[in-house]
Structure 1
């Protein structure tokens, strides 16, 4: 597998970690404070694909009289903190289950302003190249944040590697493994770290955005992945998140409208070859 692992894969601090280790890199020059008018939107985003999609949307928003100011973050915590703290208008990096869990754990008051796309979670080969080779003692790396770990475990269950307790669903943890059918070892790591250690484990499960940043193609490199028409696609759609009460603002509605437009849909389909799938209601 081809890997391009660079500065964007600075270790980020996820929902279960602390805030002190977060990374931030400016994408646009300008204010990092929430805009008080309808002529500018400040938004925090993951590098790929979120910031790339937003960059494509800038010109379309400019035609509507709105300046989009994008700042790239390398973690899953600070983008929510800065929106809840009114430093940014919105963020674009997460799915709704993650947001809801973050609100519960952190006491933030963030809501979805609209679903934009879906990124299939995939199982990628490392020391072993086929799931037919899975055997007792093999290490499989999974994201350690609450919602993405459950998602990874469900994918392992779907492929006959483990069996979860009935009803575990999107809240599943390693403690919900009822039957470790293949006798594998589940290694819980921060999602941003996993692409860096793919070759050290038998298999790894990667979040879509980190797979993209590391140069992996879900269609070409993943052994299996969540299907675009699956329940997971509806559950884990990536959203524009804002502080509660701001989802009805004219500029946020325009942002969502542009991101769901035919032009952006076409851009996503052409650029990401199935690694990012536009979401339709």
Structure 2
């Protein structure tokens, strides 16, 4: 009788162990995703989104880059699942040059170029012959000229787009004098200029205040102002990607952006 009880005990223990092992083996691991971002604001916002995503069962590994091609190359090679650091025109240019097919899946943050001044409070206050600084690199130089056109200060040749140069200025009613400088130098030169077109990354690094010194900003839907979350066609509709986008667009991340950047960077999805 004792032997039977002993055998039953062994069988029961073995069954329990087997059941426990089966349950352990079938326990669903948290979903994981790798997201690339350039160091600074992009990576900081992605880190905030990672914290929000963790509450929804998604583990996010943030991979930081210090260059502008690495995140797209890593995404195309499947070393990343997503990246967040670029506007869509940059993404399309990368695809064209690298023969890739990366896609924008959701808006990220807005980093608007603006016209900044320490001398006037409104673009209409710029006097005849005022000196205006613009970036000397092709992309941001054309972007600056388009912004000046949007502000009603100049008119560009039709179709010039973001490749516009000073040669494309066909109307300059205030006879503005243009000074082409390196983009990083423009904030430091603002006291010597009547105004300057400055990208948001250099606005932030120089400590300029868009609310006080920004006399005209790009629209929220300006193609070069809106950063995007990028993926590949094979994973853009995956549950993990959708969960990350949901976390990035959360109120938690929106509050982080407001508290951290004080209006220099704003959400691009609301």
TM-score by length of 1: 0.70
3-state SS of paired residue (1:92): strand
Matches within 5 A, 1:1-281: 38-48=31-41, 50-125=42-117, 128-129=119-120, 131=123, 132-136=125-129, 138-142=131-135, 144-146=137-139, 148-170=140-162, 172-181=164-173, 182-187=175-180, 189=182, 191-192=183-184, 194-195=186-187, 197-199=189-191, 201-228=193-220, 231-232=221-222, 236-280=225-269
Change in Cα spacing, 1:115 to 1:200, as seen in structure 2 (3 Å) is same
Report if the CA contact (8 A) 1:143-1:152 is conserved. no
Give the distance between the partners of 1:99 and 1:199, measured in 2 at CA: 35
Give the distance between the partners of 2:251 and 2:38, measured in 1 at CA: 22
Give the distance between the partners of 1:71 and 1:212, measured in 2 at CA: 22
Aligned alpha-carbon RMSD (Å): 3.1
Report Cα offsets for 1:158-184 as digits up to 9, x if no partner.
233321122434554444322244242
Report Cα offsets for 1:142-169 as digits up to 9, x if no partner.
26253x4443222111233321122434
Moved >6 Å (runs of 4+):
none
TM-score by length of 2: 0.72
**Is there any run of 5+ residues in structure 1 with no aligned partner, and where?**
1-36
**Is there any run of 5+ residues in structure 2 with no aligned partner, and where?**
1-29
The total of aligned residue pairs comes to 238
Change in Cα spacing, 1:133 to 1:236, as seen in structure 2 (3 Å) is closer
3-state SS of paired residue (2:235): coil
Structure with larger Rg = 2
